[in-house]
Amino acid sequence: MPHEQKFAIPGQYIIPTHKVAAEKVVEKYVPGKGTTISSIDVEADQVKSIPVIVATIIGKIVIREIVVSDKEDEKDEADSKDSHIKIKNFVVNVIPKSNTYMQYQEEVGEEAIPEVGNISINLPQEGDVVLARITRLNPRQAFCEILTVEGHGNVLNDSGLGANGENAHRSIPAGGGSQSLSSHTTIASQASSINAVASDLGETFKGIIRTQDVRSTDRDRVKIIECFKPGDIVRAVIISLGDGSNYYLSTAKNDLGVVFARSEGGAGGLMYAVDWQNMICPETGVIEKRKCAKPFTS
């Protein structure tokens, strides 16, 4: 890697946007996540402004080369043919230490490699698969709150939004106050207390699953009460950013739907899917209707 320092703090210059690396090789740097372009004024013969990439967050500097597709390569070559200069493109990122994506990878047992595409702010985006908890039902739609984005970890942890910002609750004991569910395993575990959520402060991202987005067949005759119950954990895909206050989610796929549910409105035992629309509690034998997610995708 063509840089010396490993870490950066906000405001720290990382690298100029252009650099001559060797003879006839120019390196071009593009700001990525956690960085921006700023300019330094240099007083030589006259005042000169040099664009420089500056860190905006605390973290590790990761510089990756952009591999350009063949077509663009040719174009680039054509451009620089006269001068015979080779241009190399790099993207500069700063990855925060407490990146939830890395935490997530550690939890699921993978090696935590700083993955440039998944750093910093994990705002749910269109097409993302999320885990959401149903909060309220009405005959036309189910309201829910988004807990995690699949492959990115918990949304709240480093979204930097709300009164908390990043990990503001670290000192509060689990189960107390507005502690957020900070990992995938807590959300999935039976023991996780319903109180230990950032939703107490209304800081989660809200979503809506409309009746027509619950399943792909027979979508006019969906009864919302036979698909979800408050407290269920649902795997859903974001179909649109919706309005300012709600995302629109959909469960209209085999592997989407309720993944964790307890019987009798949360008072009973944990239930398991027996088919796509029934869940059973093995201890009491209670069967309840849900729009289940296919447990194993092959």
- Strand 25-31 to 18-22 pairing: antiparallel
Give 139 or 244: the residue with its C-beta nearer to another protein.
139
- H or E element, residue 22: strand 18-22
Residue 233 CB, shortest distance to another protein, in Å, is 16
- Strand 205-210 to 247-250 pairing: parallel
Establish if 230 lies at the interface with another protein (CB under 8 A).
yes
Per the listing, tokens 């407490």 go with: 98
Residue 139 CA to residue 225 CA, distance in Å, equals 8
Establish if 229 lies at the interface with another protein (CB under 8 A).
yes
Give 11 or 139: the residue with its C-beta nearer to another protein.
139
Establish if 137 lies at the interface with another protein (CB under 8 A).
yes
Residues 138-197 that bind another protein (CB under 8 A): 138-139
**Among the residue ranges 82-90, 94-102, 187-195, 262-270, the one whose residues contact another protein (CB under 8 A):** 262-270
Total binding residues for another protein by CB under 8 A?
Answer: 16
The answer to whether the beta carbons of residues 125 and 238 sit under 8 Å apart is yes
**Among the residue ranges 14-22, 137-145, 170-178, 289-297, the one whose residues contact another protein (CB under 8 A):** 137-145
The answer to whether the beta carbons of residues 74 and 67 sit under 8 Å apart is no
Per the listing, tokens 């300019």 go with: 39
Residue 263 CB, shortest distance to another protein, in Å, is 6
Radius of gyration of the chain (CA): 24
Per the listing, tokens 């300012």 go with: 244
Residue 53 CA to residue 94 CA, distance in Å, equals 11
Residues 270-289 that bind another protein (CB under 8 A): 283-284, 286
Give 176 or 265: the residue with its C-beta nearer to another protein.
265
Instruction: Map residues 97-136 to x or -, x wherever contact with another protein holds by CB under 8 A.
Output: ----------------------------------------
Say which DSSP state 281 is in: -
Give rounded-to-5 percent helix, strand, coil for the chain.
15, 35, 50
Give 78 or 267: the residue with its C-beta nearer to another protein.
267
Establish if 265 lies at the interface with another protein (CB under 8 A).
yes
Which stretches of the chain bind another protein, using CB under 8 A? 137-139, 224-225, 229-230, 263-265, 267-269, 283-284, 286
